[in-house]
């Protein structure tokens, strides 16, 4: 099975791009964009034709519309990802559909990127080359997976690493290390992420934190002990997508929150806390965690809620003046 070769960033270098789109205008534009850059362009007018073309000659990258006759882009993407010989071909959706849920759906189905119309030549070429470069990195790293996998996320991002181990059906424990003696583990069983841990946190909550680590050393231990049970039951691709979505929102929210080392205490009496006027279930649960004083970080670790839910609750409690810095003397909980 042929795959991406060297020279990605330098242009097409004879690579084959399969465009699946029923628009004659888009077909002409893609030829005009990519052929001068050295790509061989194959055209299909719908998903069924695209699948036949891909089976006949495995492309280096696929660009497909969503709304098409006979077989639409969703069905086409799903069919491609089910074909063993085509499952790892970079796939980009090129569509006028802009709604975020639709974009997330495409990524969940296995698409590598999502470009909305109208698009510029430079952006489209750059997106395709990024996907090809990523595919090349994964192909090179796949060889290392067959022996001892160790390295640094500056060369292979955590998200790519997890997908690589999943695609290669690996079993074992992936150890992650960052400065300050922080350590995390991701547990794999036959290619599926079944658990994760960092500090006192486990499961999806831990995995989402590990995904947000900017840099880390890693080492895969195929003989590592895997805890019983599967706290993480969803498919690895779905869990990763949920993690990326949560972490994006969490990063934006953190700019409005106090430092996680800041200690707070509860304002109000026990009776008032029990009534919880205007508070939802999450806010009530988080408020109870602050009784007696606690840092935001301690509550994040102790709460069964995910980090995004805790941070949303903390922000609302601060806005309602139900929390105060612990070094003040204003009404601690009674």
User: Which of 159, 107, 100 has the alpha carbon at shortest distance from 134?
Assistant: 159
Please identify which residue in the block is written with the tokens 């590592």: 224
Per-residue model confidence (pLDDT) at position 44: 95
- How far apart are alpha carbons 48 and 311 in whole angstroms? 46
- Encode pLDDT of 219-276 as tens digits: 988 889 998 888 998 888 888 888 888 998 999 898 899 999 999 988 866 445 556 5
- Encode pLDDT of 1-30 as tens digits: 333 333 333 456 678 999 999 999 999 999
Specify the DSSP class assigned to residue 37: G
pLDDT of residue 77 exceeding 70, the answer is yes
Per-residue model confidence (pLDDT) at position 147: 53
Per-residue model confidence (pLDDT) at position 113: 80
Specify the higher pLDDT residue, 110 or 328.
110
Same domain, 130 and 162: no
Residue 8 covered by a domain: no
| Strands 172-178 and 217-221, bridge-based pairing | antiparallel
In the chain, how many domains are there? 3
Which of 83, 110, 136 delimits the end of a domain? 136
The tokens of 56 are what? 């006949």
Specify the DSSP class assigned to residue 10: T
Same domain, 280 and 168: no
Cβ neighbours, 10 Å, residue 87: 12
The tokens of 42 are what? 């194959």
Same domain, 25 and 130: yes
Per-residue model confidence (pLDDT) at position 45: 92
DSSP 220-282: EETTPPPPSS-S--S-HHHHHHHHHHHHHHHHHHHTTS--TT-EEEE-S-HHHHHH-TT--HH
Same domain, 237 and 278: no
Residue 307 covered by a domain: yes
Same domain, 213 and 285: no
- How far apart are alpha carbons 295 and 176 in whole angstroms? 25
- Encode pLDDT of 177-209 as tens digits: 987 678 999 999 988 999 999 998 999 999 999
Same domain, 207 and 294: no
Domain of 198? 148-253
Same domain, 196 and 291: no
pTM of the prediction? 0.61
Which of 190, 222, 253 delimits the end of a domain? 253
């Amino acid at each position: 099975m042929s795959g991406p070769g060297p020279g990605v960033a330098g242009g097409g270098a004879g690579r084959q791009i399969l465009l699946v789109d029923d628009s004659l205008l888009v077909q002409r534009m893609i030829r005009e964009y990519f052929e001068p850059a050295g790509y061989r362009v194959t055209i299909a007018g719908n998903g069924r034709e695209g699948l036949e073309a891909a089976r006949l000659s495995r492309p280096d990258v696929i660009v497909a519309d969503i709304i098409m006759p006979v077989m639409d882009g969703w069905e086409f993407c799903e069919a491609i990802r089910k074909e063993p010989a085509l499952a790892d071909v970079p796939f980009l959706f090129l569509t006028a559909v802009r709604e975020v849920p639709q974009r997330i759906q495409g990524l969940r189905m296995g698409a590598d990127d999502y470009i909305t119309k109208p698009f510029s030549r430079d952006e489209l070429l750059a997106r395709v080359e990024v996907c090809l470069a990523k595919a090349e990195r994964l192909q090179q790293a796949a060889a290392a997976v067959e022996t001892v996998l160790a390295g640094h996320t500056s060369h292979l991002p955590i998200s790519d690493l997890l997908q690589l181990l999943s695609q290669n059906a690996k079993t074992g424990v992936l150890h992650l290390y960052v400065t300050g003696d922080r350590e995390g583990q991701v547990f794999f069983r036959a290619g599926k992420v079944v658990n994760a841990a960092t500090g006192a946190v486990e499961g999806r909550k831990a995995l989402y934190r590990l995904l947000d680590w900017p840099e880390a050393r890693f080492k895969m231990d195929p003989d590592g002990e895997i805890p019983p049970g599967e706290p993480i039951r969803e498919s690895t691709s779905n869990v990763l997508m949920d993690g990326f979505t949560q972490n994006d929102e969490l990063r934006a929210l953190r700019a409005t929150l106090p430092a996680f080392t800041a200690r707070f205490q509860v304002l109000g009496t026990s009776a008032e806390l029990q009534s919880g006027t205007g508070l939802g279930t999450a806010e009530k649960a988080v408020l109870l965690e602050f009784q007696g004083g606690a840092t935001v970080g301690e509550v994040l670790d102790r709460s069964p809620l995910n980090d995004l839910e805790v941070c949303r609750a903390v922000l609302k409690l601060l806005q309602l003046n139900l929390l105060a810095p612990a070094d003040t003397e204003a009404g601690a909980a009674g």
